[in-house]
Structure 1
Amino acid sequence: MGLVSQDAINQMRALMDQVEEPLQRTFQNVHQGYINETLVRFLKAREWNVSKAHKMLVESLNWRVQNEIDNILSKPIVPPDLYRAVRDSQLIGLSGYSREGHPVFAIGAGLSTFNEASVHYYVQSHIQINEYRDRVILPSASKKHGQPITTCVKVLDMTGLKLSALNQIKLLTILSSIDDLNYPEKTNTYYIVNVPYIFSACWKVVKPLLQERTRRKVQVLPGSGRDELLKIMDYTSLPHFCRREGSGSSRHSDSGSEDCYSLDHPFHQRLYDYIKQQSRINEAVEPVKQGSFHVDFPEPPAEEAEIAKTIESELHKFGNGNGISDSLNGLKINHD
């Protein structure tokens, strides 16, 4: 790390030592003992401008305090049928780990419908997975490998993309903005697989709008991406939709335990049990309530708004027919 970078980190640490106690407490949940690595993420997100990075981090910590994000892992989505409906329509899972120890998150970009619950439940679920990743999965991986592992890999499956993306732009912009402002630089690489023609056409328009550091992270792979992904992970860590040699995938694999989206997958079982356990610990203080855990939605950054507008415009150009893709889910790549 260069002298300039180290100087920026030292300046950030000095500034963070001055923030008030509530922000210090929530900052501990953010950095999990890896303070420098956390400061570097925010510095990267603001092009190493210390003043802007500090402002971004403090605003994020205030957002966490005001919305009780530290307690979100003790707030289950109930009843269980509603949680299952959220899982079936917001497709995400942990398929395994790369050979370097980074968690591999699989995202069903094309087949997620987000139509089984209110926006607040999807936001709650999204943040819970982020927090579980940062507070449980990444610290565990760091301990196992004996070095800081503070980022993940994401594999986005474009199977089943439809023009219905237009109905999801608002929600996806909310989720993307939450990540950009509060969980920056958490993803090493985005691998995009099972790509239809329409994605390629939209990608040409959207790619120039992304920051250079984001563009460098995106790799569009041929077919299911299997051969390329096997260079960085074992077969057992491949998402189920990448295990075919050709392109295309199905919503469910033959085995429910292999479908990393499924509530029956070990990752979701552990997450569900963890939230239930945390809920029981807090029950004596505050009984579990029906209803979603409301979080304030951030105003999307100008770049986010421009990307969403461009995607909407591009999709309209393609019209209504012939399996037109839900390109937004794939193109709304967070700058995290």
Structure 2
Amino acid sequence: MGADSEDAVKQLSLLMEQVEAPLKRSFQNVHQGYPKETLTRFLKAREWNVQKTYKMIVDSLNWRIQNEIDTVLERPIVPVDLYRSIRDSQLVGLSGFTREGLPVFAIGVGYSTYDKASVHYYVQSHIQINEYRDRVILPRLTQQFGRPVTQCIKVLDMTGLKLSALSQIKILTSISTVDDLNYPEKTETYYVVNVPYIFSACWKVVKPLLQERTKKKVKVLSGSGRDELLKIMDYSALPHFCRREGSGSSKHSSSDVDNCFSPDHAFHKELYGHIKEQASHRELIKMGSLHVSIPEPDPNDAKIVEAIEAEFQKMGDQDPPANSHKAE
């Protein structure tokens, strides 16, 4: 960091020392012993403007307190059949780690349907994965490597993406807004693989609307992306849908333990087991979904959603080419 950025961190640190005790306690759950790195992430998200960053952090900490985020890892989604249904329709998992020690999160964008539970359960599940990543996985890696590990990479599988995905825009926008405002700069790079025509068309429209910082993070790879991803991770860490060129499928059966989306995969078993264990320490477990308030999205994000909707509408009025190709 340059002198100006160091000064911004110092100014922000002084402001954070003045916040009330409940916010300080919540901030400890966020920074996990690395406040400087956390303040830097939020500063990047607000282009190093100290006052805007301070407001962002305080808003985020108030959101955590009001929505009981600090205890979300004590709220298992029950019954277990409901949890398994969510895993079958919200495809996300941890496939391994890069050689530098960053967690590799795989997301099955095309085949996620979000149609087996209320939106509240999907948001709760997403937040639980975020919190488990930030409060369990990353601190463990930080200890292992002897340096702060504060980010992950995400591999987005677009296999199966169809025009019907337009119906999921609202829930995806909700999840994206939660991440943008409360978990900024947690993803180092987004790798997009198995790209169909529909994504390529949308990407051309959306790319010019993205901030330069975000644009640099998105890498659209050819085919399954296997060869490119093998430059930064071992074969064993590749998401299953990248392991052989042309396989492309991110669907799974619930018993497929090699598929990182499966509830029987080691990551999901560990996560669910951790939440159940934490819940067992509480005298009263709240049942039902966690109703998290979703902040208003950034106006620029709203423009992006409008652009996607317009492009989907345009494609709905014509027959798109059947062949897939790499986005420009």
Give the TM-score taking structure 2 as reference length. Answer: 0.95
How far does residue 176 in structure 1 lie from its aligned partner after superposition?
Answer: 0.4
**Closer/same/farther in 2, CA of residues 224 and 322 from structure 1, 3 Å limit:** farther
After TM superposition, where is structure 1 displaced by more than 6 Å over at least 4 residues in a row? Answer: 320-325
How far does residue 248 in structure 1 lie from its aligned partner after superposition?
Answer: 2.1
- Tell me, in whole angstroms, the C-alpha distance in 2 between the residues paired with 1:222 and 1:171: 28
Residue 315 (1) aligns with residue 324 (2): no
Equivalence for 1:289: 286
- Tell me, in whole angstroms, the C-alpha distance in 2 between the residues paired with 1:11 and 1:205: 38
1:234-313 equivalences under 5 Å are: 234-246=234-246, 248-252=248-252, 256-282=256-282, 284=283, 286=284, 288-313=285-310
Letter in 2 for 1:211: Q
- Tell me, in whole angstroms, the C-alpha distance in 2 between the residues paired with 1:320 and 1:201: 14
Equivalence for 1:70: 70
Q: Indicate the SS of the match to 1:132.
A: helix
Residue 121 (1) aligns with residue 121 (2): yes
Question: CA contact under 8 A between 1:162 and 1:323: conserved in structure 2?
Answer: no
Letter in 1 for 2:237: S
Unaligned runs of 5+ in 2: none
Paired residue total: 323
How far does residue 320 in structure 1 lie from its aligned partner after superposition?
Answer: 6.5
- Tell me, in whole angstroms, the C-alpha distance in 2 between the residues paired with 1:83 and 1:323: 36
Question: CA contact under 8 A between 1:156 and 1:190: conserved in structure 2?
Answer: yes
Q: Indicate the SS of the match to 2:219.
A: strand
- Tell me, in whole angstroms, the C-alpha distance in 2 between the residues paired with 1:293 and 1:93: 21
1:72-87 equivalences under 5 Å are: 72-87=72-87
Question: CA contact under 8 A between 1:223 and 1:247: conserved in structure 2?
Answer: no
1:49-198 equivalences under 5 Å are: 49-198=49-198
Q: Taking every aligned residue pair, what percent have the same amino acid on both sides?
A: 67
Question: CA contact under 8 A between 1:162 and 1:324: conserved in structure 2?
Answer: no
Residue 34 (1) aligns with residue 34 (2): yes
Question: CA contact under 8 A between 1:156 and 1:192: conserved in structure 2?
Answer: yes
Unaligned runs of 5+ in 1: 326-330, 332-336
Question: CA contact under 8 A between 1:161 and 1:324: conserved in structure 2?
Answer: no
- Tell me, in whole angstroms, the C-alpha distance in 1 between the residues paired with 2:107 and 2:8: 34
Letter in 1 for 2:304: I
Equivalence for 2:217: 217
How far does residue 272 in structure 1 lie from its aligned partner after superposition?
Answer: 0.4
Letter in 2 for 1:170: K
Question: CA contact under 8 A between 2:241 and 2:247: conserved in structure 1?
Answer: no
- Tell me, in whole angstroms, the C-alpha distance in 1 between the residues paired with 2:76 and 2:110: 26
- Tell me, in whole angstroms, the C-alpha distance in 2 between the residues paired with 1:262 and 1:324: 32
For residues 156-191 of structure 1, what are the alpha-carbon distances to aligned partners after superposition, in whole Å with 9 as ceiling and x for unaligned? Answer: 000000111221111111100000000000000000
How far does residue 253 in structure 1 lie from its aligned partner after superposition?
Answer: 8.1
**Closer/same/farther in 2, CA of residues 145 and 323 from structure 1, 3 Å limit:** farther
- Tell me, in whole angstroms, the C-alpha distance in 2 between the residues paired with 1:202 and 1:233: 29
Question: CA contact under 8 A between 2:120 and 2:292: conserved in structure 1?
Answer: yes
- Tell me, in whole angstroms, the C-alpha distance in 2 between the residues paired with 1:254 and 1:322: 34
Q: CA RMSD in A?
A: 1.8
- Tell me, in whole angstroms, the C-alpha distance in 1 between the residues paired with 2:133 and 2:286: 24
- Tell me, in whole angstroms, the C-alpha distance in 2 between the residues paired with 1:85 and 1:323: 32
How far does residue 246 in structure 1 lie from its aligned partner after superposition?
Answer: 3.0
Equivalence for 2:199: 199
- Tell me, in whole angstroms, the C-alpha distance in 2 between the residues paired with 1:321 and 1:167: 19
- Tell me, in whole angstroms, the C-alpha distance in 2 between the residues paired with 1:324 and 1:134: 41
**Closer/same/farther in 2, CA of residues 260 and 2 from structure 1, 3 Å limit:** same
How far does residue 192 in structure 1 lie from its aligned partner after superposition?
Answer: 0.2
